[in-house]
Amino acid sequence: MIPSSFTFYAPSRLDEALDLLQQYGDEAKLLAGGHSLLPTMKLRLATPAVLIDLHKIPELVGVTVDERVTIGSMTTWSALEADATLCQAVPVFAATIRLIGDRQVRNRGTLGGALAHADPAADAPAVVLVLNGTLTIYGPAGLRTVAAEDFFVDMLTTALAPDEILTAITLDCVGPGEGAAYLKFAHPASRYALVGVAAFLRIEAGQITACRVAVTGAGVRAERLTTVETKLLHQPAQPEVFAAAAQGAAATLAILGDLHASEAYRRAMVEVYTRRALEAAAASLRTS
């Protein structure tokens, strides 16, 4: 299929990209990795009159590690996978990247593009949630930050306004006494998550003193499993505690059913993968 005709811009400055976005309004689309936008354009399900490519804006690329990790929104998965500092600071994030698509997908796809698209079966949103992520957004009023749990609103819908650009993602490092993991039941062809669960634990003297658990692939958006977190807090970090906390993990969720997996199956898999992710997070505890 051939997309309808469009005007292409490749600005080299963030302000220039924002000006174009404001100038063309609803007629414009931002281009990051393009894995979702370009196929829909070829099918003419999307017919933007203007494409604004963000690849030539240097301030949107790179990784900085201080007390927290900050990632430019246009940094590709493959660049993140190869960044030794990032892998050391947040091993769970590096491990998750290796589960995304294939090498060709990771060479082109970007973290910011994936988060802004908000596919309900994407891997990164769940991990960003458990790493206490904050997202930096640039718009006509300047910069603002949004907590990850407020960013994912609905299926393919985020807190980004039409005239705003996601510029950076900031994550907590995984420190001593902390562990995190992401596990998924992947569709064998697409490798998208039919169910994926991320877990973060802080364990002191054998007790869970902080925890965050998030699910993707099961509903219309990635979201925290707060009932599981409540069951875990101040409990011993033991397999039987993880199993008990995982029971009924999907009880309050609106679960999707489709030709790939029924609602009942996904609900059962949320429990299974919640338990497994908690066990894996505990096993990955950092000692230094």
Per-residue model confidence as pLDDT tens for the chain (288 residues): 789 999 999 999 999 999 999 999 999 999 999 999 999 999 999 999 999 999 999 999 999 999 999 999 999 999 999 999 999 999 999 999 999 988 899 999 999 999 999 999 999 999 999 999 999 999 999 999 999 999 999 999 999 999 999 999 999 999 999 999 999 999 988 889 999 999 999 999 999 999 999 999 999 999 999 999 999 999 999 999 999 999 999 998 999 999 999 999 999 999 999 999 999 999 999 987
pTM: 0.96
The one-letter amino acid code at 165 reads: I
> For residue 119, which of 152, 166, 73, 159 has the smallest C-alpha distance?
152
Phi and psi at residue 104, in whole multiples of 5°?
Answer: -65, -40
Sign of CA dihedral 154, 157, 160, 161: negative
What is the distance between the alpha carbons of residues 182 and 273, in angstroms, rounded to a whole number?
A: 9
Lookup result for tokens 């491990």? 95
Bridge partners (DSSP) of residue 207 are: 204, 236
| Spatial contact of 271 and 246, defined as CB atoms under 8 Å apart | yes
